[in-house]
Amino acid sequence: MEGLLQRMGMLRGWSPQTLSAYRSDLKHATGFLHSSRSCSIFDASQDDIASYLGVLRKAGLKESSISRRRSSLSTWYGYLQEEGWREDHPVRNLPGMRRGRRLPKELSEKEVELLLTAPETGQPTGLRDRCMLELMYATGLRVSELTGLTLSNIDLQTGIVRVIGKGNKERMVPFGEEAEIWLKKWLQKRAGIASIHLFPGRSGKAMSRQNFWQRIKLYANQAGISPLPSPHTLRHAFATHLLNHGADLRAVQMLLGHANITTTEIYTHVSRARLHDLVNSSHPLGRRQ
C-alpha cells in the first residue's frame, strides 16, 4: 500500500500533511478489514466498506470524520481503478451521507484586533508572532502556507506574497500597509538569522503548525477570547470580513486558493447570518415578539 500511496501523492501534488492524513485513514481501514472481514484494502467489497463505515458510526465518530475517511477510501479505490488494479469501485455506489454544512468559527473585527495586539513586540519572539498574525489576517493564508514561507516569497516593493498552496499550485496574494509595517520590523530583527525561512523556529527550520497553534492559544487566552480559536480562525476571519465589507466572492476565492467556488460560498452564509443579527439588533421592528 505504501508504495502506491507515495505515487498517488506525487502525481497529485499532495503536501506531506495530506499524504500523512491519507496514510492514517487507510491504515485504520486496513486494520478493520484484516481483523473483521478477512480481506485487504486492495480486494475489499462494497459490503466490507459499508461494514467499516457502520462500525465507525456505532463507535460514535463524528459524521465529519466518517466522511473524511470515506473520502480517503474513495480516492484510493479511484486510483486503483485508474491503474487497472480493480474493475469496480466499492465506495462510489454506497448511500450518500447526510452532513450539515459546518460554518467556520468566526472572530469579530474587535476580537481580531485584540488577538493581533496580544504579543509583546519588545521581544524577538513576540515581534515574530505579531508579524505572523498580521500577515495571516492580511492574506488569508493557510497555517501550513504561512509557516512554510521563505524570504524569497515576500516582495515588499509590490506588496505581494507568493504562495505555494494545495496541489503545488502557486498564487500571488497582496498584503496591506499594516502587514508591511510589521514585516519590515521583523525582517530587520531577523537579519542575522541564517535561515531561508521567513519565520524560523529555534533550529532554523520552518516553524511547525503545532507550534503556531500553541502561540495562537497563548495570545487568545491573553486577549480573553473564548472559545479558543482554531489555527485557521484568522483565515476564516479574513474571508468573512472581506465579504462583510463588499468584496467580490470570486476575488475571495482566488485569494484563498480554493479550486472550487462552492468552498468559498460557505463564507457567504456567515455574512448573511451577521446581516440578520444586524437587522435584529438595529432595526426598530427587527426583534420579533
Q: Is 97 contained in some domain?
A: no
Q: Is 88 contained in some domain?
A: no
* 232 catalytically annotated: yes
| Span 198-237, pLDDT tens digits | 998 877 888 888 889 899 999 999 999 888 887 788 888 8
- Print the domain residue range for 181: 109-280
Q: Is 89 contained in some domain?
A: no
Half-sphere exposure (Cβ direction) of 161: Cα atoms closer than 13 Å: 30
| CATH assignment of the domain containing 234 | 1.10.443.10
What is the pLDDT, as a whole number, of residue 98? 53
Predicted confidence band of residue 194 (pLDDT cuts 50, 70, 90): confident
* 166 catalytically annotated: yes
Are 75 and 117 within one domain?
no
Distances (CA, A) of 136 to 12, 177, 231, 234: 26, 14, 10, 6
* 276 catalytically annotated: no
What is the pLDDT, as a whole number, of residue 96? 67
What is the pLDDT, as a whole number, of residue 288? 45
Q: Is pLDDT above 80 for 176?
A: yes
Q: Is pLDDT above 90 for 246?
A: no
Q: Is pLDDT above 80 for 273?
A: no
Specify the higher pLDDT residue, 72 or 226. 72
- Specify the pTM: 0.62
What is the pLDDT, as a whole number, of residue 289? 41
Q: Is pLDDT above 60 for 277?
A: no
| Span 111-165, pLDDT tens digits | 999 999 999 999 999 999 999 999 999 999 999 899 999 999 999 999 999 998 7
**Radius of gyration of the chain from Cα atoms?**
22
Specify the higher pLDDT residue, 242 or 285. 242
Catalytic residue among 70, 235, 236, 241: 235
Q: How many CB atoms lie within 10 A of CB 124?
A: 12
Catalytic residue among 89, 217, 258, 274: 258
Mean of per-residue pLDDT scores for the chain: 85
* 130 catalytically annotated: no
Are 148 and 65 within one domain?
no
What is the pLDDT, as a whole number, of residue 53? 92
* 236 catalytically annotated: no
Specify the higher pLDDT residue, 232 or 189. 189
What is the pLDDT, as a whole number, of residue 276? 52
What is the pLDDT, as a whole number, of residue 270? 56
Three-class secondary structure of residue 231 per DSSP: coil
Catalytic residue among 128, 130, 142, 215: 142
* 272 catalytically annotated: no
What is the pLDDT, as a whole number, of residue 156? 93
Give alpha helix (H) positions in the chain.
2-12, 16-36, 46-58, 63-82, 109-116, 124-139, 143-147, 177-189, 209-223, 233-244, 249-256, 261-264, 266-282
Sign of CA dihedral 105, 200, 167, 3: negative
Are 134 and 238 within one domain?
yes
Catalytic residue among 166, 171, 209, 217: 166
Residues 6 or more apart in contact with residue 159 via CB below 8 angstroms? 174, 175, 176, 180
Q: Is 210 contained in some domain?
A: yes
Catalytic residue among 197, 232, 236, 241: 232
Q: How many CB atoms lie within 10 A of CB 114?
A: 17
Are 166 and 219 within one domain?
yes
Q: Total structural domains in the chain? A: 2
**Segment 10-30 mean pLDDT:** 90
Q: Is 96 contained in some domain?
A: no
Q: Is 132 contained in some domain?
A: yes
